[in-house]
Amino acid sequence: MNIRYLGHSCFLVRHGEHTVVIDPFLTGNPLAAARPEDIQASAVLVTHGHGDHVGDAAAIAARCGCPVIANYEVSLHLSQQGVQVEPMHIGGARTFPWGTVKLTQAFHGSGIELEGGGFKEGGMPAGILLTMGPYTFYHAGDTALFGDMKMLGELNRIDAAALPIGDVFTMGPDDSLIAASWLKAGLYIPMHYNTFPPIRQDADAWLERLRSQGQSGTVLKPGESCDIKRTDAAVISGRSSVE
């Protein structure tokens, strides 16, 4: 499995001939490492209704002729805009030709901001357990630390996990390190930081603390990717254009 970070909470996850994109906030993201028109995906996965996660989901899905997978309320909102959707909800898993998605709980909001003001009900925010081939990637979405991350670690063999470290709106560095100790993932990747001033963090300092508590991680600059191997030996393949 190859995991490419595109900035904020956006990842391109590839296994074999299939690539899926998670939380494609590219337009308006000062750190985005790709343009929405560069993305080729078999599916677009969205953790919750906030603009910095739904992002360019509708445009990418329309151009690629692929579905958006999200909770029921976000799916309904997008389907009303003519987007092909595959609704799910927390606790449910669903298998697609390219892999399996299970939505997990997240402690956050999910209101969909409407043009011209106001919010639309966006259901519950989610994390995503994405399994492609033998590999499972846990994208925590936007969330606080919660005790059932221990259960996620016990019930799943997580090869790689992306955790928010930005603080203010999500877990900060301290809580994400506790999450890392519970999830028992092979590799941790920080996300949801440095995009905007309130969520500025020192990811290298976080990585040092992660390693000192006996865990593996990597800080991917936007555009960088890593290969997940069953041995946990992830290798940073370096900056290159989006595949």
Per-residue 3-state assignment (H helix, E strand, C coil) for 79-91: HCCCCCEEEECCC
Residues 77 and 58 sit within 8 Å (Cβ to Cβ): no
Which range touches Ni ion (CB under 5 A), out of 11-19, 44-52, 66-74, 216-224?
44-52
State which amino acid sits at residue 182.
W
Contacts of 181 (CB under 8 A, 6+ apart): 213, 215
For Ni ion, the binding residues in 122-161 under the rule CB under 5 A are 142
Based on the shown chain and the rule CB under 5 A, indicate whether residue 142 belongs to the binding site for Mn ion.
Answer: yes
For Mn ion, the binding residues in 33-62 under the rule CB under 5 A are 52
In the complex with Ni ion, the residue whose CB is nearer, 142 or 167, is 142
73 binds, among Ni ion, Mn ion, none (CB under 5 to 8 A by kind): none
In the complex with Mn ion, the residue whose CB is nearer, 4 or 8, is 8
- Number of residues located near Mn ion, criterion CB under 5 A: 2
Phi and psi for 83 in degrees, rounded to 5?
Answer: -85, 140
DSSP 8-state symbol, 42: S
In the complex with Mn ion, the residue whose CB is nearer, 142 or 167, is 142
Between CA 195 and CA 184 the distance in angstroms is 27
List residues binding Mn ion (CB under 5 A). Answer: 52, 142
Q: List interacting residues with Ni ion (CB under 5 A).
A: 50, 142
